């Protein structure tokens, strides 16, 4: 019969050695890709977290290659999301500018519609959207306040912009 506590100890030692060997290189690689130290830390932490969960299944793989490939892929996903988020922000800004050109009644109707859509946000998404978009706070500040990662704040903002865009695109086609 195998000693599970010994297996666990060996697993933790292997994982710690892998972490110590690769963390700095992975972090600097992520920094080169995303050009943001906080996001790079989140990416590397997420990759090691994923490896921790699936270590038994992956332990016979080339883990160095797996780690670098995973960091690269997560960085690319982050950059794709930034592009999409930028499009949402540009779109929402255009809606605000368009609202400025409308007469007062149309402007009020559009603002009510924005409020209605925001009422459908989860409380956390609404708080994050208000803090980042209307208050101009940095994603990191809001993330620190809520004890969530910057990437989680990005996800909430993307969700908010997507919901607003869906409603206003539908209205334009109606």
Note whether residue 96 is domain-resident. Answer: no
CA pair distance 153, 141, nearest whole angstrom: 10
Residues 68 and 113 grouped into a single domain: no
Task: Match 């908010």 to its residue by tokens.
Answer: 160
If one counts every other C-beta atom within 10 angstroms of the C-beta of residue 128, the result is: 27
Q: How many domains does the chain have?
A: 2
Buried b or exposed e, range 157-168, using 16+ CB within 10 angstroms: bbbbbebbbeeb
Task: Match 């490939």 to its residue by tokens.
Answer: 69
Note whether residue 92 is domain-resident. Answer: no
Look at the pTM and tell me if it is higher than 0.75. Answer: no
Q: State residue 28's pLDDT score.
A: 92
Residues 125 and 66 grouped into a single domain: no
Residues 130 and 65 grouped into a single domain: no
Q: What is the dihedral of CA 46, 48, 53, 55, to 10 degrees?
A: 150
Residues 119 and 169 grouped into a single domain: yes
Residues 109 and 62 grouped into a single domain: no
Note whether residue 58 is domain-resident. Answer: yes
Using pLDDT thresholds of 50, 70 and 90, give the confidence band for residue 164. Answer: confident
Q: State residue 124's pLDDT score.
A: 93
| Mean pLDDT computed over 114-142 | 87
Q: What residues make up the domain containing 33?
A: 4-77
Q: State residue 4's pLDDT score.
A: 54
CB 168 within 8 A of CB 95: yes
CB half-sphere exposure, 77, CA atoms < 13 A: 15
Last residue of a domain, one of 77, 110, 126: 77
Give tens-digit pLDDT for 4-50.
556 667 878 888 898 999 999 999 999 988 888 999 999 999 999 98
Note whether residue 145 is domain-resident. Answer: yes
The residue with greater pLDDT, 174 or 13, is 13
CATH number at residue 19: 1.10.1740
Q: What is the largest CA-CA distance in the chain?
A: 79
Give tens-digit pLDDT for 43-98.
999 999 988 888 778 777 788 888 999 999 998 888 888 777 766 666 666 666 66
Residues 108 and 166 grouped into a single domain: yes
Residues 8 and 73 grouped into a single domain: yes
Note whether residue 86 is domain-resident. Answer: no
Q: State residue 6's pLDDT score.
A: 60
Note whether residue 82 is domain-resident. Answer: no
CA pair distance 29, 34, nearest whole angstrom: 9
Nearest Cα residue to 133 out of 116, 118, 151: 118
């Amino acid at each position: 019969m195998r000693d599970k506590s010994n297996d666990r100890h060996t697993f933790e030692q292997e994982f710690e050695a892998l972490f110590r060997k690769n963390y700095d290189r992975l972090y600097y690689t992520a920094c080169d890709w995303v050009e943001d130290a906080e996001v790079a830390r989140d990416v590397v932490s997420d990759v090691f977290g994923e490896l921790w969960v699936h270590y038994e299944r992956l332990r016979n793989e080339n883990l160095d290659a797996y780690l670098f490939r995973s960091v690269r892929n997560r960085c690319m996903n982050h950059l794709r999301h930034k592009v999409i988020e930028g499009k949402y922000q540009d779109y929402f800004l255009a809606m605000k500018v368009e609202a400025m050109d409308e007469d007062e009644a149309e402007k009020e109707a559009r603002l009510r519609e924005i409020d209605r859509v925001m009422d459908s946000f989860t409380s956390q998404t609404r708080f994050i959207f208000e803090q980042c978009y209307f208050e101009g706070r940095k994603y990191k500040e809001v993330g620190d306040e809520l004890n969530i990662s910057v990437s989680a704040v990005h996800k909430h903002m993307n969700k908010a912009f997507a919901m607003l865009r869906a409603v206003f695109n539908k209205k334009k086609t109606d």
